[in-house]
């Protein structure tokens, strides 16, 4: 009887030790994560304060509403739809692939935001477009992922001009716009530093994936377009 009681006590003690160890590991992980988030907030605020005090003119440019609106999905989906109907001036391959890429990006960002649920930082001015659902959360930045993805597609696959010098200038302008939008998200108080950096990395990875594995050929884009038109006629 005593041996059974001793065995039970040892089992209980071992279980308590395992629970205590698990709790310590959980607290340790949570503490490291909180330290990272605190560091992110601190350096985001430092960056914003530095820009506002040392470079007020540049900061005002980044805080312009154009930066916010030009990187919004509510603008890009209709714009790409317009490009689609501008055929033959614009080949349908570009807008169809870009719409597919942006839809993929929106799904990825919304899923991550819904899972992480990081609150946005305090902001002086509200967004031009009201955030709906998971988009109200901060991590990661959809503007950063979207603009990097768009820049990647437009500069890697579809040069706008045959002249190499013009292509270089256009690529420089597109990437300058993307970087400016990323900076504006921090300076406008919409996102923290890690939100923007993570969003930019996601956009770059998505662009690489779309171009290497998901990109529709010109022939496939035309066939899908014909199928859509024929289906509408019927």
| 187 has pLDDT over 90 | no
For residue 200 the two structure tokens come to 């930019």
d(C-alpha 216, C-alpha 28), whole Å: 47
d(C-alpha 101, C-alpha 123), whole Å: 30
pTM of the model as a whole: 0.77
Q: What is the pLDDT of residue 149?
A: 94
Q: What is the pLDDT of residue 105?
A: 95
Give the tens place of pLDDT for each residue, 47-75: 888 888 888 877 777 777 788 888 888 88
Give the tens place of pLDDT for each residue, 73-125: 888 898 888 887 876 666 777 888 888 899 999 999 999 999 999 988 876 55
Q: Are 112 and 139 in contact (CB under 8 A)?
A: yes
For residue 197 the two structure tokens come to 């950096």
């Amino acid at each position: 009887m005593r041996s059974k009681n001793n065995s039970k006590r040892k089992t209980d003690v071992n279980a308590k030790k395992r629970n205590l160890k698990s709790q310590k590991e959980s607290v340790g992980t949570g503490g490291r994560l909180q330290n990272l988030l605190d560091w992110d907030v601190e350096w985001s605020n430092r960056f914003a304060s530095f820009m506002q005090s040392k470079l007020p003119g540049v900061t005002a440019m980044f805080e312009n509403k154009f930066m916010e609106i030009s990187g919004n999905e509510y603008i890009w989906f209709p714009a790409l739809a317009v490009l689609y109907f501008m055929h033959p001036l614009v080949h349908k391959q570009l807008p169809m692939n870009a719409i597919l890429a942006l839809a993929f990006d929106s799904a990825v960002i919304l899923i991550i935001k819904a899972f992480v649920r990081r609150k946005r930082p305090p902001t002086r001015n509200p967004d031009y477009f009201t955030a709906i659902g998971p988009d109200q959360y901060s991590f990661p930045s959809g503007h950063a992922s979207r603009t990097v993805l768009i820049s990647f597609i437009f500069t890697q696959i579809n040069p706008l001009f045959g002249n190499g010098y013009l292509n270089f200038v256009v690529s420089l302008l597109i990437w300058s716009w993307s970087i400016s939008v990323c900076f504006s998200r921090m300076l406008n108080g919409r996102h923290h530093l890690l939100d923007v950096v993570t969003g930019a990395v996601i956009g770059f990875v998505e662009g690489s994936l779309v171009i290497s594995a998901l990109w529709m050929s010109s022939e496939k884009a035309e066939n899908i377009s014909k199928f859509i038109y024929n289906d509408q006629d019927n």
